[in-house]
């Protein structure tokens, strides 16, 4: 226990400082803090799920640029399957299944066919955008809503309970569970050890008897279910509609979150919350009308321009660039990521 604390001293210190600041804001600004934290988590839910897709893929040695496409396809399939069948369960299963199929497509092209992983992901994104735009149907509505849950005891915790465990949808709770399960799986199970081995030293893993190709295909395919769930959340929970560009770049933002989380699930979860909070701050500034009050003069014009809704809406992406610049050189990707593995006897 003592060695673990010493090894994670910096992480624990940063976590403690963030929690103190979060609780201070919660109690000092209780009129707006709960809604801001709730909005932050709502924005972060698909980012958490999508970032986990990237973590599993790259820990296995496969770059997944196609997360955006997987989410779009799942959002489309889930929404219209629910609308046409009259069943939310059918819609959720259709979305998850579509994510699995898209993950299988990426796995087959990159691992079995050894296609360039970046190109394969781009192709998936193009196909997803084209299909969902061409077959877009308007006027459909969902037959119901995804149920919200209250978790006994946990919902009573100040701030944390109100934000994560009170009145949240099933998908939100699954995102939390998925982050914990993937973390434990990667660092405390045989599957995780083998996954990290094929992502770092596939030749050594192969020598040890691990089927590198099969494990990579399995991981990338199954990770697609999480991308499918993220897409389902966007079209069937967060908005209850499907629109072109519904993902709004979240798949690419999730890749940045994965990198800033150092390819670790719980750190990626924390970074997703950070960007969710940045988005909530931007929304709060828009609602307050900061810089939009009447006036004239050069400085007022600058303030109005900087606080325009279009500018404030870019805050999460600007924050991404800033944090990526700070993190550059401080994190290391898995050693064999992006490299197809070919056995010497093939």
pLDDT above 70 covers a percentage of the chain that reads: 88
Residue 211 confidence (pLDDT): 95
**266 has pLDDT over 90:** yes
Determine the average pLDDT of the residues in 101-116.
95
pLDDT score of 143: 87
Q: Which of 55, 67, 66 is nearest to 259 (CA)?
A: 55
pLDDT score at 78: 95
For 246, the 3-state DSSP assignment is coil
pLDDT value at position 239?
81
pLDDT of residue 346: 56
DSSP state of 168: E
> H helices of 29-87, where?
33-59, 67-85
pLDDT for 8 equals 67
Of 53-62, 70-79, 172-181, 313-322, the one with minimum mean pLDDT is 313-322
Mean of pLDDT values over 177-189: 97
Q: Reduced to 3 states, what is the DSSP secondary structure of residue 244?
A: coil
Provide the CB-side half-sphere exposure for 270 (13 A, CA): 17
pLDDT in tens, 116-127: 999 999 999 999
pTM over 0.85: yes
Rounded Cα distance, 56 and 216, in Å: 9
More confident residue, 13 or 223: 223
Burial 235-247 (b: 16+ CB within 10 A, else e): bbbbeebbeeebb
Comparison of pLDDT for 293 and 341, the residue scoring more: 341
Give the confidence band of 238 by pLDDT, cuts at 50, 70, 90: confident
Distance CA 168, CA 283 (A): 20
Across the range 320-345, mean pLDDT stands at: 82
Which band of pLDDT confidence, cut at 50, 70 and 90, is reported for residue 196?
Answer: very high
| Choice between 2 and 304, residue whose per-residue pLDDT is larger | 2
Beta partners for 175?
none
What integer best gives the mean pLDDT of the chain? Answer: 87
In the predicted structure, residue 85 carries a pLDDT above the cut 50: yes
Express the helix, strand and coil content of the chain in percent, nearest 5 each: 70, 0, 25
**192 within 8 A of 183, measured Cβ to Cβ:** no
What is the torsion angle, in degrees rounded to the nearest 10, for the CA atoms of residue 230, residue 232, residue 236 and residue 241? Answer: 90
pLDDT of residue 327: 73
DSSP state string for 80-137: HHHHHHT-HHHHHHHHHHHHHHHHHHHHIIIIIS---HHHHHHHHHHHHHHHHHHT--
* pLDDT given for residue 267 in this prediction: 93
Tens digit of each residue's pLDDT (9 = 90 or more) over 288-309? 655 455 555 444 445 455 456 6
Domains of the chain as residue ranges with CATH: 16-327 (1.10.3470)
pLDDT digits (tens, 9 = 90+) for 126-170: 999 988 887 655 667 888 889 898 899 889 998 899 999 988 899
In the chain, pLDDT over 90 holds for what percent of residues? 58
CA distance 254 to 233: 15
| Banded model confidence at residue 3, pLDDT cuts 50, 70, 90 | low
Q: Tell me what pLDDT residue 310 has.
A: 64
Q: Which two tokens stand for residue 299?
A: 């400085």
More confident residue, 328 or 31: 31
């Amino acid at each position: 226990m003592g060695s673990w604390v010493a090894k994670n001293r910096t992480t624990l210190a940063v976590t403690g400082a963030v929690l103190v600041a979060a609780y201070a804001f919660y109690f000092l600004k209780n009129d707006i803090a709960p809604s801001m934290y709730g909005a932050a988590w709502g924005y972060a839910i698909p980012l958490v799920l999508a970032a986990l897709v990237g973590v599993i893929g790259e820990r296995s040695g496969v770059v997944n640029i196609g997360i955006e496409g997987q989410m779009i396809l799942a959002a489309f399939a889930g929404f219209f399957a629910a609308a046409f069948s009259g069943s939310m369960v059918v819609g959720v299963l259709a979305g998850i299944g579509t994510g699995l199929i898209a993950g299988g497509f990426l796995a087959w092209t990159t691992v079995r066919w050894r296609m360039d992983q970046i190109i394969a992901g781009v192709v998936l994104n193009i196909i997803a955008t084209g299909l969902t735009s061409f077959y877009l149907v308007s006027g459909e509505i969902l037959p119901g809503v995804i149920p919200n849950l209250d978790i006994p005891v946990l919902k009573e915790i100040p701030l944390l309970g109100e934000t994560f465990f009170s009145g949240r949808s099933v998908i939100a709770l699954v995102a939390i569970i998925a982050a914990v399960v993937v973390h434990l799986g990667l660092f405390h199970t045989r599957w995780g050890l083998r996954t990290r081995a094929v992502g770092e030293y596939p030749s050594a893993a192969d020598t040890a008897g691990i089927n590198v190709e099969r494990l990579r295909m399995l991981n990338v395919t199954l990770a697609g279910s999480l991308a499918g769930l993220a897409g389902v959340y966007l079209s069937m929970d967060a908005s209850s509609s499907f629109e072109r560009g519904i993902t709004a770049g979240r798949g690419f933002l999730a890749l940045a979150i994965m990198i800033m989380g150092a390819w670790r699930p719980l750190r990626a979860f924390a970074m997703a919350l950070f960007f969710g909070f940045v988005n909530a701050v931007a929304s709060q500034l828009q609602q307050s009308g900061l810089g939009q009050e009447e006036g004239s003069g050069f400085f007022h014009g600058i303030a109005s321009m900087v606080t325009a809704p279009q500018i404030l809406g870019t805050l999460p992406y600007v924050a991404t660039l800033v944090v990526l610049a700070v993190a550059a050189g401080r994190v290391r990707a898995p050693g064999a990521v992006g490299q197809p593995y070919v056995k010497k006897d093939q």
